[in-house]
């Protein structure tokens, strides 16, 4: 596995805010940093969507377009890569908790949400419960939450209420921005809902399945 230390933001905040010149500057850096012909696995559906779809809009008709298409073809959201890219159908391990899954807006149009839920359901002890209006946005929206904080918070509280009605122990998602937003609202309201990224659940499930060695030495 290669982790390029020079990587930065994908450019989506500037892109969504209408500053496409800045988004393209950041995008060119992304193209350079991830020029090596390897799969690029992104633990964020929003960043993956920016590279796969946003770049195509930002660089339309520009010289970088060939590189944009090449990078998009090998960029994957984490769960999508595990299931669709590697063919993993069962994760295994153990995680005895009741979970609700938040499907972020940017995972739509891909198999990321379905892939994540497939992996979660394959873990022993994990119980996945469905909240009302599962496709409802959390309200964060990056710069949207700064420009329209009252609307953003109201959307988040509506989403949080739907999740809390099914009383999961943890809310799982594939976008840290959504989890940060909902987790912050839950904390302000004094709730006990714990928000965790899918990668954390997969890690802990496997760790629980690894036998520990012990014994007395002498």
What does the pLDDT look like over 130-170, one tens digit per residue? 998 888 899 998 888 888 999 999 999 999 999 999 999 99
Q: Tens digits of per-residue pLDDT, 44-92?
A: 999 999 999 999 999 999 999 999 999 999 999 999 999 999 999 999 9
Largest CA distance in the chain: 72
Domains of the chain in sequence order: 12-82 (no CATH), 89-207 (3.40.50.1860)
Q: State the pTM of this model.
A: 0.89
d(CA 21, CA 43): 26
Question: Could you give the dihedral angle defined by the CA atoms of residues 96, 98, 104 and 109, in that order, rounded to the nearest 10 degrees?
Answer: 70
| Cα 79 versus chain centre, distance | 9
* Structure tokens given for 70: 């090449």
Residue 67, φ and ψ in degrees, nearest 5: -70, -35
Beta-strand (E) ranges in 58-191? 75-77, 98-102, 127-129, 170-173
| Cα 12 versus chain centre, distance | 14
Q: What share of the chain is helix, strand, coil (3-state, %, to 5)?
A: 50, 10, 40
DSSP reduced 3-state for 196: strand
d(CA 84, CA 56): 22
């Amino acid at each position: 596995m290669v982790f390029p230390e020079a990587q930065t933001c994908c450019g989506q905040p500037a892109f969504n805010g209408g500053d496409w010149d800045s988004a393209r500057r950041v995008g060119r850096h992304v193209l350079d940093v991830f020029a090596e012909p390897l799969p690029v696995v992104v633990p964020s559906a929003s960043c993956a969507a920016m590279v796969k779809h946003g770049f195509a809009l930002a660089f339309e008709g520009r010289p970088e377009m060939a590189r944009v298409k090449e990078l998009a073809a090998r960029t994957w959201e984490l769960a999508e890569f595990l299931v669709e890219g590697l063919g993993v159908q069962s994760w295994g391990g153990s995680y005895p908790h009741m979970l609700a899954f938040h499907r972020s807006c940017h995972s739509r149009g891909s198999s990321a949400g379905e892939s994540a839920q497939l992996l979660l359901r394959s873990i022993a002890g994990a119980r996945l419960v469905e909240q009302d209006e599962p496709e409802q946005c959390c309200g964060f929206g990056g710069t949207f939450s700064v420009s329209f904080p009252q609307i953003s918070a109201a959307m988040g509280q509506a989403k949080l209420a739907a999740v809390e009605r099914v009383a999961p122990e943890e809310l799982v998602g594939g976008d840290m921005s959504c989890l940060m937003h909902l987790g912050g609202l839950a904390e302000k309201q004094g709730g006990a809902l714990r928000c965790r990224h899918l990668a954390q659940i997969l890690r802990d499930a496997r760790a629980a399945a690894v036998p520990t060695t012990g014994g007395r030495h002498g």
